[in-house]
């Protein structure tokens, strides 16, 4: 999703980043089965996204057609083809979190960050998304910020969580 204030997707990816991506993909030439793992790792060095030029580098290094890389990158929820903030906040909105106040938690994030769900902050620090069950319903309502999980959230706790970043 194109973020408010974040215009990175319009620009080509920096050569240094592309070089890092190439280094991640190169060991897996001809290993189609490793594509998902490569995409996951590539995203972490490339603005949390698989931009078109990033996908092209992966395709070339792994010896796969670009359409294959693009097809996989657009299928899975964790991949984005548009640049995202340094931290991607994913608020679980599945039923178990919903009945425990996920909507209020999402609102609190929106207010605290000054963006709507699906947007990125002006400084490209945070992207706010909703997601489906994170598998930690025993501590719902739950969110995941990159690889960190936070549970038993209330609108009041949201402020504390954001302050950590």
Partner 1 sequence: MQETRIVLRNVGKINPVKACEYAAAGGYEGLKKAFSLTQDQVIGTLKESGLRGRGGAGFPAGLKWQFVKNTPANQKYIVCNADEGEPGTNKDRVILAGDPNSVFEGMAIAGFAVGADKGYIYLRAEYPSLLISLNEALADARANGFLGKNIMGGGFDFDIEVRSGAGAYVCGEETALIESIEGKRGEPRFKPPYPGVSGLWGAPTVVNNVETLANVAQILINGAAWFKAIGTEACAGTKLFTLCGNIANPGVYEFPMGVNLKDLFAVGGGCPDGKKLLAVQTGGSSGSFLRADQIDLDMDIDNCAAKGATLGSGAILFIDETNCILDVLQDIMEFFVHESCGKCTPCREGNFRLLQMITAFNEGRAKEGYADTMLDLSSTMMSASLCGLGQSSPTAIVTSINNFRDVFCVKGCGRERGNK
- Residues of this chain that bind partner 1 (CB under 8 A): 31-37, 39-40, 71-72, 75-79, 93-96, 98-100, 131-140, 144, 147
Q: Give the phi and the psi of residue 91 in degrees, each rounded to 5.
A: -95, 120
- Helix 15-25 / helix 52-62 crossing angle, nearest 10 deg: 40
Work out which of 8, 55, 59, 97 binds ligand FES, going by CB under 6 A.
97
Q: Does 101 bind ligand FES (CB under 6 A)?
A: no
Stretch that binds ligand FES, among 6-14, 48-56, 113-121, 137-145 (CB under 6 A): 137-145
Determine how many CB atoms are found less than 10 A away from the CB of residue 74. 12
Q: For 91-109, b where at least 16 C-beta lie within 10 A, e where not — what string?
A: bbbbeebeebbbeebbebb
Work out which of 21, 92, 128, 161 binds ligand FES, going by CB under 6 A.
92
76 binds, among partner 1, ligand FES, none (CB under 5 to 8 A by kind): partner 1
Least distance to partner 1, CB of residue 10, Å: 25
Residue 152's SS3 state is coil
Least distance to partner 1, CB of residue 123, Å: 25
Residue pair 58/21 in contact by the 8 Å Cβ criterion: yes
């Amino acid at each position: 999703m194109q973020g408010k204030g974040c215009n990175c997707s319009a620009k080509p990816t920096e050569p240094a980043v592309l070089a890092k991506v190439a280094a991640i993909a190169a060991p897996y030439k001809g290993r189609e089965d490793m594509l998902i793992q490569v995409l996951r790792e590539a995203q972490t060095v490339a603005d949390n996204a698989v931009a078109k030029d990033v996908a092209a580098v992966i395709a070339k290094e792994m010896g796969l057609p670009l359409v294959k890389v693009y097809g996989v990158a657009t299928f899975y929820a964790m991949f984005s083809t548009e640049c995202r903030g340094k931290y991607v906040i994913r608020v679980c909105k599945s039923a178990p979190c919903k009945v425990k106040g996920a909507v209020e938690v999402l609102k609190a994030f929106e207010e605290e960050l000054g963006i709507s769900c699906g947007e990125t902050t002006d400084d490209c620090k945070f992207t706010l998304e909703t997601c489906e069950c994170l598998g930690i319903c025993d501590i719902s309502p739950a969110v995941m910020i990159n690889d960190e999980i936070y549970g038993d959230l209330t609108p009041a706790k949201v402020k504390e969580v954001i302050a950590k970043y």
